[in-house]
Structures are given as structure tokens and as C-alpha cells.
Amino acid sequence: MSKLAFYLLLLVLAPVAAVIIITPMDSQKQYIFGLISIGMLFLMGLSKSRKITVVMVILSALMSTRYIWWRTTETLHFNSEIEAILGIGLYLAELYVWLILILGFLQTTWPLKRTIEPLPEDTSLWPTVDVYVPSYNESLDVVRDTVLAAQCIDYPRDKLKIYLLDDGKRSEFAMFAADVGVGYITRDDNRHAKAGNLNHAMKITKGELICVFDCDHVATRTFLQATVGPFLKDPKLALLQTPHYFYSPDPFERNLRAARSIPNEGSLFYGPVQQGNDNWNATFFCGSCAVIRRSALEEIGGFAVETVTEDAHTALKMQRLGWGSAFLSIPLAAGLATERLGLHVIQRTRWARGMTQIFRVDNPLFGRGLKWQQRLCYLNAMLHFQFGLPRVAFLTAPLAYLLFNLNIIHSSASLIFAYVLPHLVMSLYVNSRMNGRFRYTFWGEIYETVMCFHLVIPTILTMFSPKHGKFNVTDKGGVLDQGFFDFHIVRPHVIVAALLTIGIVAGVVRATMHDYFGVDPYVIALNVGWAVFSLIILMAAIAVARETKQVRKTIRIEVQIPAIIHYASGISSRTMTSDLSMGGAQLDAPDDRHEYDEIEEIDLLLKSGAITIPVSKISGDDETIRLRFEAMPLSRRRELVRVVLARADAWIQPQYKQDNPLLSLGTIVRTVFELFWLTWKDRRNKGKQEAQPAVKEDSAA
């Protein structure tokens, strides 16, 4: 369809849309209209066509806009100043969510699914590449394997240079770089943090392309062969970003059983969102796992230093000058997720401050160089991190009526239901259809609820003072000797959960005795239902603070590789690995010899040859043998990295099942019950442990 035809179609349909949005109806007619609309949507949902999806998006957007129009024109009448303050606050929160919904539809309705652009057979045509691994205070245990994996990348040696950028100025890092044969770059000061570190390296190196890996992101050997091709095809391409895949569990996956069987928190962004951005040439640079053209960086003066999210700001600057960007939705590197909820909160708070800074100092809505689609994609990203205050408003809004008898929505319960149900049902259904393999319904509410109280002050302060705050590095690679409940991080959540519980009890009492209290039982039912949902989401968020013990320093990865076990007696047995880590392996037990014969080493049998690794046995049974790897030279560790972390298919995972909103809600409810069950179980076990010494002392006496 030509642009002219598209705009003519919009001109014809605009009056129809306006009629749908602004026509007032009583509750009965609105119920009928809403049910017919929902029915039409469900019928269209039987088709898998992308064009039908676009039609469904339009219908959902119209119904949500109709709801906002009704809220704007019919419900903002209040009887007191406090009702007006709370009511307008809730309305603004709903307006924010509506805007995010519409912008999200724009981003994700038609994602661009790129495939790998092959490189020419003549390697002399391939560009030179500098690989940067920036580090500040991370341990060498974290950085070592990233550098070794970079050395495993399949690319002509004369066209690939690897540099360890050490802002910590540590002698052991310099020695390590010399031992493995990579460049080591440091500087006199740490000005502008990571961005300054990268810019300093740019002055010393000269590769045509720059590839950046955070110091915990381990590349697969095919990384450059999969990402460099588009730069040869398109001379105006400045950036190619790949997903951030994490091979260690994040706090949600570690602390919630249910979260281990659903898409990761970042799956939505590194799926439909970035693919949608790519469709509009608005791909964000995410700081790592990306390739950037040096000439594009030089044209904007290097990596952006004005904000603490130098990555997204750098992409914005390049796109303003007409440079292109791309997103390849194939995980070609993997890193360590934040281990604890407290670290997760710190990291996300920095992201929120950084995106708010960009909104203030280089607002994408203004200035030259961007198309309107690019402006809206960036606007959505920046507004997204302002969810703190709106989320708090949604969680606490029912308390206004349940505890203080304040009416903050001037309408009957039946009319509220009639307007809000089609809006919610249709938006949930359409989002589930488009993004259901990347984000399950209601889990976004949990992710936001975990963060909301912590983001309110930082985002407001940054909005008024964009230079407030500084860059902070997220700790990675730690262990947790003992599980604990991080009450400090969820204190506001617990307080609001207690208030909601009181509000629900008060609401049930008032509904039961509605004649005595002179209240509308339907209004009570509406607010109690709202409060119950808020409480479920809050309790699921609180459950994430139940930190589980993590004593393993290296993460196990399920992989089946032929192996040979060598025993002290000289006997050898063939078997298969069931999982591997950089610290050890679990093997299928071929027989019972391991129970009486010492294991000295194992061979991992690869297509490229065998790797011999000295080991010691940790434990074993009839089915498995668990081994610890002993100290090995760096050359052998590099080969182990190639096997465990840098395989071409190391991080290719099957797609998750399509989302089912009702099953998703059931999973969340089960998570809440598990919180109480596991807390009670821990207390019981702790009581038994404390009782045992007392029994022993009595026996001794």
C-alpha cells in the first residue's frame, strides 16, 4: 500500500473511530457493545494471520481509547479536595497506562524477524574488528572466561583484536592479558565510567568495527560470522544488537519455582520489542553483545557520556544522523544475571535514571534527524521506566473507598464494569496473542510491582535534576551461603499488603452489613475484587525477596557430550555428560567402578578433537557421577570454554508455549501459597535444628 492510499484510508476511517470512541452509552448498552466487541475479537483470534492481528490491535486500541474518553468526560467529578487529589492521581495513572499500551502496540504489532546475512567467501573482504571487554571492579574469575571465549571466535586472526579495558588498574588483570595474548588498556582516571573507558580505547585501537561484551558476557564462536555480514551489505548500518541471554537464573527464576518454567523477564524486550524497533530503524544499543561501526561512533564523538545509560543514548545519537540499526534475535552470547533481588533493584534503578536523563537532555520528540516512528519507539522506552508512581496508584487505589469511604471514580459500579471489562479483556487478549511466547499475562505486573516503590523517588529527582546520581556497576558472580528473606527490599510492599488485607476485611464486613453502613454492595465488591488482585500481585512480588541459597560458583549447563573416564587402575569407560560447568561435570555412570576405583581424568570427545581434564570425584550413585575439575593451564581452560560456553548452539532454546492468561493467573496464585508454605517449612526446620542441641545437652546431663 502506498503512503497516499494509507493516509486516505486513515482519513476515511477516522470519523468511524471517533464515533466508536465518543458515543456515550448507559450500562446496559455498553455491556452489549462490549460483549459483541469481545466476541468479535475472540472469533478473529481463531486466525493466525498477521493482518488479522493488526485489525485486532486496532479494535483493542479503540476500546481502550473509548474507556479513557469515558473516564475523561464522565468520571472526574468529586465531592472533596482529597477525593479530587486521589481521583485525578488514579486517572493520570490510567492515562499513562493507555499511552504505554498504544505505543507498545506500535512497537510490537509488526516485528522484523531478521536472518543471518552470510559473509563473502573471500575473507580479505571481511572488515577488521576490535573486541572490547570493559571491566571496573569485577573479579578475574568473572572476566577470565569472557576473554577466553572471545579468543575462540571464528574470525581471521589478522582481522581480530581483543582488548581487556581495565578501569580498575589491577596488576593481575595485566598479567592475565599478557598470558593469554590479548591487549590490555587502562587509563589514569575513570572519568565517565564505562563510556569513558570505551572512548579511551577507541583512541588507541583502529578496527573498522567495534564489538562490545560486558565482562560477564561470553560469546559463542560464531558471534562475528553471524553479525558482521549486514555491515558489508549496508554501508549506512551503524549498529547490530543481539539479545542479552543469561545462563544463570535471575532473582525471579532463583526464588520463585513458577518463574523457572516461564519466559525470562527480559524475553519480551529482546524479542518483540527490539524486533519491532528494528522494523522502524530504532533498535537500541544495550551496552553489550553488539557490533558498532567505528566511523558512526566517531561522527557522534564516541560513546555518549551525558547519561548513565550510555548505550541507548549512543544509538539515539547515531540514528539522529541518519545511521541505520539492526537487531538479530539469535542469542550469540550469554552472561550472568543479577544474583539477588537487591542487586536487581540497583541495576533497574540505574536504567530508569538513565532513560529519564535521556528524556530530559536529548528528548527524542524534539530535534532533527528522527522519523516519527523512531521518536515514538524511544518515547515508549523512556516512559516505560516511569511506571513507579502509576503502579503504586493502582495497588493502593481501592483503599480509598475500603478504608476511608472516598469515591475517587464518580460512577456507578455497573457502569465502571461495563467500560473497564472490554478495555482490560481485549488488551490482555491481544497482548497475549502477540507476545505470549515472550511474556505471560500478569507477570509484567509482578516485575513492575517489585520495582515500583524503589523507582518513584529516583525517577522524579532525575526528571527535575537530570544530572543527579552516578553510574554504578552491578555486582556479578557472587554466592550466597545461606538463604534469607530480604525484608528491607520489600518493606513498602509488606506495609501495603497489610493495608490491603485490612481493607479487604473491612470491605467484606461493610458489604455484609451494607444496610447498616449505608454503602452500595456492588461498589464494595468492585473495590474488594480490585484489592484482592493487588494483594495477589504484591504477595508474589514479596515472594521474590525470599532469597535461596546459592553456593555453586559456576553455573551448570545441560549438554550431552561423549566422554571417556580414566581410572587410577588404568581402566577406561565410555559415557556421556549430562551437564557441564566451568568447575565440574555430571556424567552418566556406565557401571559401578567409580565406587571403588579412583577417577583421575576425563576426555571430552569433540569433533575438533579430545580435551583431557584432570578431575576428582565429588559423589556418585548408580546413575550419575559428579566430578570437580582440578586446576588446568589457560590453554586447556580456553578449550573447555569453547565446549561449555562458546558452542555455536550453546544458547539456542526451544520456544515457550503460548500464554494462557487463566493458567498464568493460577500459577501466580500458587506462587503466593508457596511463599507461606516454604516460610512455614523453613521455620519448622529451624525450630528442629535449634531443638537438637538442647536435646543433646539434656542427654549429656
Helical H segments across 75-183, by residue range:
81-108, 140-151, 171-180
Looking at residue 693, the DSSP 8-state letter turns out to be: H
Helix H or strand E segment including 129: strand 129-135
Rounded to whole angstroms, how far apart are CA atoms 518 and 561?
72
CA nearest neighbour of 445 among 459, 463, 430, 431: 431
Question: For the chain, what's the residue count?
Answer: 701
CA nearest neighbour of 102 among 319, 315, 384, 366: 384
- 573 Cβ neighbours under 8 A, 6+ residues apart: 564, 565, 567, 590, 591, 593
SS3 content of the chain, % helix, strand, coil (to 5): 55, 15, 30
* Whether 216 is catalytic: no
Q: Which of 167, 214, 250, 475 is catalytic?
A: 167
- Residue 294, Cα to own-chain centre: how many angstroms? 28
Q: Number of C-alpha atoms within 13 angstroms, CB side, residue 135?
A: 28
Q: What are phi and psi of 564, to 5 degrees?
A: -125, 130
Q: Number of C-alpha atoms within 13 angstroms, CB side, residue 533?
A: 13
Rounded to whole angstroms, how far apart are CA atoms 659 and 657?
6
Angle at 271 between CA 268 and CA 276, to 5 degrees: 105
Q: How far apart are the first and last CA of the chain?
A: 92
Rounded to whole angstroms, how far apart are CA atoms 654 and 545?
29
Rounded to whole angstroms, how far apart are CA atoms 649 and 646?
8
Rounded to whole angstroms, how far apart are CA atoms 184 and 208?
19
CA nearest neighbour of 297 among 274, 273, 278, 325: 325
DSSP string, 445-483: HHHHHHHHHHHHHHHHHHHH-TT-S---PPP-S--BSS-
Backbone φ/ψ region at 226: left (φ over 0), alpha (ψ -120 to 50), beta = alpha
- Cα distances (angstroms) measured from residue 592 to each of 571, 619, 698: 13, 12, 43
Q: Which of 216, 311, 362, 475 is catalytic?
A: 311
Rounded to whole angstroms, how far apart are CA atoms 606 and 611?
8
Which grid cell is 456? Answer: 518513584
Which grid cell is 568? Answer: 587410577
* Whether 167 is catalytic: yes
Which residues participate in catalysis according to the annotation? Answer: 167, 311
